[in-house]
Amino acid sequence: MNNIQDCYGINENGHLTIGGADTVCLAEKYGTPLYVLDENKIRRQCAIYRDAIKKHFPEGSMPFYASKALSFVDIYKIVKSENIGIDIVSPGELYTAISAGFDVSNACFHGNNKTDADIEYGITSGVGYFVADSREEVEAIDRIAKKLGKTQKILLRITPGIDPHTLKAISTGRVDSKFGTPLIEGKAEEITSFALSKENAILCGFHCHIGSQIFEPAPFIDAATVMISFLSDMKDKFGFEADVLNLGGGFAVKYTAEQGEVNISEYIGEIAKNVTNLCEKYSVKMPKIFMEPGRSIVAAAGITLYTVGTRKEIPGFKNYISIDGGMPDNPRYALYQSPYTVVCANRANAPADYKATVCGRCCESGDLIAEDIKVQKMDRGDTLAVLVTGAYNYSMASNYNRIPRPPIVIVKDGDDRLSVRRESFEDLIKNEVL
Ligand code: LLP
């Protein structure tokens, strides 16, 4: 197992633990498939960002947890008590955050196509910042704020034209992107001038997000360089000094023993050094810096537990281990071939010397979780754990093949509590007009 994250362990019974809790006991108590989250690990990750940003950037700088990575009521409660903001991308995330009692004045509302209804809901709920993706959105935010007799702070999303060297599907800051406004042909300048002409949409600064699962600080520094040079242009052209620069999210997480580690505080320190120098070089006031980590807050804190069913050996081809979940609870291998570490939770100390492909239960050949990896030889009834599933698993889960979504159990200091119930068959048809 190589202890790829500090919240996993193996106890005296040879069982995998997370946050000190025995995963085999959890699987027995709550059934499988089961998402398990270690609350203390999430809190530690929040603290790393909060403390590093506070240390290196001007007052008012802060992290905003990108809740698309994992959105349910309890996560907003945890994040709220850690005193960090949130990034939301839909009225559904906004509603969930409000249901958790989150003060959404500490929220950035994202999305490349917010409807008028989304905008009105956000403004009336008191969302701190809208990240406006286009000229139409600036116009709509201004118009709706005026109608409501309010003003609304906005940031403009700019695509800095940086290739973050990650998967194309999760790379967002290149010029050819559905997100934001590109710098080319004066487009970003044009939208800035348009936003500055508005009375109810109040321009506070700029945003960029270059992609996800990025292992190096260099692409962030490249993006900051482009953005600060742009800030300087906007100061020269319009006398506009940005109060906020939001650098987005994207720090990578270690999913397998082969992958490297991101030292978040160190990287933030490096980015800060560069941002400070760039502001000096371009004679712009150092803005408040916002960052929007999603994956690196919650991924490592989560595992998914399954029960093994059929094991099938196809001589000369593959050995398949089937589990009672799959792409409905974790579509990331099917979508991106994202690598995962798999462990036999009830024999975690046994040698991982069996080459296997872990497959789900859907009627679909691509329903795989990992291909040709080394694991313990597992048989029907064993508990199989997939590690580092806290981000973009529950939030991307579906009911494909009418499979109910698993519950979420949160462990803290060795205790466990049910946070999200397992979906029932009744839930599956609850919206159907019978
Ligand atoms: N800010 C913005 C504007 C974003 O679009 C994203 C992620 C984040 C922050 C958070 O990025 P993170 O720190 O989590 O890398 N479903 C894909 C990931 C899509 C990321 C979308 N945007 C996956 O499962 O890998």
Q: Tens of pLDDT along 180-203?
A: 999 988 999 999 999 999 999 999
Cis peptide before 293 (omega within 30 of 0): no
Mean predicted lDDT score pLDDT of the chain: 96
Phi–psi pair at 36, nearest 5 degrees: -125, 135
Q: Tens of pLDDT along 342-400?
A: 999 999 999 999 999 999 999 999 999 999 999 999 999 999 999 999 999 999 999 99
Containing H/E element for 88?
A: strand 85-88
Residues 6+ apart with CB under 8 A from 252: 166, 212, 213, 214, 215, 259, 260, 262, 295, 296
The reply to whether ligand 1 has any atom less than 6 angstroms from the CB of 209 is yes
Q: Tens of pLDDT along 263-284?
A: 999 999 999 999 999 999 999 9
Phi–psi pair at 269, nearest 5 degrees: -60, -45
What pTM does this model have? Answer: 0.97
pLDDT of residue 164 exceeding 80, the answer is no
Which domains does the chain show, CATH number per domain? Answer: 8-38+299-428 (2.40.37.10), 110-293 (3.20.20.10)
The reply to whether ligand 1 has any atom less than 6 angstroms from the CB of 294 is yes
Distance (angstroms) between ligand 1 centre and the Cα of 379 equals 36
- For this structure, is 46 an active site residue? no
- The rounded distance, in Å, linking the Cα atoms of 395 and 288 is 30
Atom 16 of ligand 1, nearest CA residue: 392
Question: ∠ CA(332), CA(334), CA(338), 5° rounding?
Answer: 45
The reply to whether ligand 1 has any atom less than 6 angstroms from the CB of 207 is no
Q: Tens of pLDDT along 306-324?
A: 999 999 999 999 999 999 9
- The rounded distance, in Å, linking the Cα atoms of 404 and 274 is 48
Q: What percent of the chain has pLDDT over 70?
A: 97
157-178 average pLDDT score: 75
The reply to whether ligand 1 has any atom less than 6 angstroms from the CB of 198 is no
Contact 222, 153 (CB under 8 A): no
- The rounded distance, in Å, linking the Cα atoms of 419 and 364 is 30
The two three-digit tokens of residue 144, written as one number? 């709706």
